[in-house]
Chain A
């Protein structure tokens, strides 16, 4: 594991593909950072990537980011062993670690309460709305429409890129 926290260009590229309708905003943000285009083979500074996500959230709103999170995981490729909602939710951390690396990138833990309920703890940096979309998308890959709620204490996302942990109660 490297010493720097980094985000994969492949994940950023998928994110940007989902933003096709708002290419102007994306181009401006990339231009501000002196980046011409995202290279899927390159790893990018994690804090910059997180700030990028938050800026998109400010520009387009939380609902748009949730939809992007949903489309990101819906379009991701998974091995055939990932064949149910339970397995995919349990594999979220592995999926996340394919897209982010470093000593302090956070992650997902999933604990099942029963056959149709799980508690997911998300310490990955970035907007909570994006991660809500990821969880919703993971369920919808298997035709499940889940109820996703914040656990007691509500949303912990400070909205400014500082690391935080949100706990979701997912039932379906």
Chain B
């Protein structure tokens, strides 16, 4: 290929010497990349310089800048490395260039360094953004892991509370006692129904004593839930005896206008137990 006259006489020698110097630079991006990569970089840059200076334009410079950041690993490149590369190349090219071309070469090198510097800053910004995003991800993952642990702890605690809040105790052969303490809501009722029916079936229960002395207030929902529980128990062959109704709850249940005909009630636990054992 016919070379432009700018560097014809010393071109190969120039590329060889600058490439070797780059590759020898200790602990640099160039020594990491190796002499072959350095040679490709220097060749691409000299080629671009020749084309641009001959044509008096800057269209090839873009490719040369691209080569700097593709032939050499951008993450390894320091600003000192970049400056070293441009200054060594500039000096070698100026030494080899004709007098007439020196000013153009100098101007091209100046602009090339400026564009490379801008690209270097952009690459560095990109790296910093990437590192920052990685840190954010790591932080989010850590918080997620913490939340998962907290959720597991809370779930286990809730499960434990559920277990202890709806105890089912066998008090006599075929008789189960269910003391309710605290608010009796739909959630607890469903939980109790599920566990109680399983226990009735398992223990061949004849009677269930539902002690509501510890329930501060009984509302429509509570009463309906108890009635539904009673029906379910009856289908399994067990009767439900309601005990521990406080005068307050008795008034409330009556005022709710709920049909309590299906419920067996006793004044207290002892009476309920006696009735259950008679069955």
Contacts and interface: CB of A to CB of B under 8 A. Distances in A.
Contact of A167 (B27, B73, B75): B27
Interface string B80-94: 110100000000000
Interface string A147-172: 10111111000000000000101010
B80 A169 contact: yes
B76 A169 contact: no
A121 B27 CA distance: 10
B130 to A, nearest CB: 13
Contacts of B81: 152, 169
Contacts of B31: 152
B78 A119 contact: no
Nearest to B77: A152
Nearest to B31: A152
Interface string A117-137: 101010000000000000000
A136 B31 CA distance: 26
A171 to B, nearest CB: 5
A147 B29 CA distance: 17
B80 A152 contact: no
A27 interface: no
Nearest to A111: B26
Interface in B142-160: none
Contacts of B26: 111, 119, 151
- Report the interface size class on chain A: 10 to 19
B79 to A, nearest CB: 6
B117 interface: no
Contacts of B32: 152-153
A151 B79 contact: no
Q: What does DSSP make chain A's interface, helix, strand, loop or mixed?
A: strand
A117 B76 contact: no
Contact of B27 (A117, A147, A152, A171): A152
Interface string B173-184: 000000000000
Given A151-B27, A151-B28, A152-B28, A117 B80 contact: yes
Interface in B40-82: 73, 75-81
Interface string B240-279: 0000000000000000000000000000000000000000
A150 B73 CA distance: 14
Nearest to B75: A154
User: Which of A119, A121, A152, A171: most chain B CB closer than 10 A?
Assistant: A152
Contacts of B79: 147, 149
User: Which of B27, B32, B73: most chain A CB closer than 10 A?
Assistant: B27
A169 B27 contact: yes
A171 B28 CA distance: 14
Contacts of B27: 119, 121, 151-153, 167, 169
A150 B78 contact: yes
A130 B230 CA distance: 75
A153 B76 contact: yes
Contacts of A147: 79-80
Interface in A97-131: 111, 117, 119, 121
Contacts of B29: 152
A153 B76 CA distance: 6
A149 B76 contact: no
Contacts of A167: 27
Interface of A: 111, 117, 119, 121, 147, 149-154, 167, 169, 171
Given A147-B80, A151-B27, A152-B28, 12 more contacts: A119-B27, A121-B27, A149-B78, A151-B26, A151-B28, A151-B78, A152-B27, A152-B78, A169-B27, A169-B78, A169-B81, A171-B80
Interface of B: 26-29, 31-32, 73, 75-81, 83
Nearest 9 A/B pairs, CB to CB: A151-B27, A149-B78, A152-B76, A152-B32, A169-B80, A167-B27, A152-B29, A171-B80, A169-B78
21 contacts: A111-B26, A117-B80, A119-B26, A121-B27, A147-B79, A149-B78, A149-B80, A151-B26, A151-B27, A151-B78, A152-B27, A152-B28, A152-B29, A152-B73, A152-B77, A154-B75, A167-B27, A169-B28, A169-B80, A169-B81, A171-B80
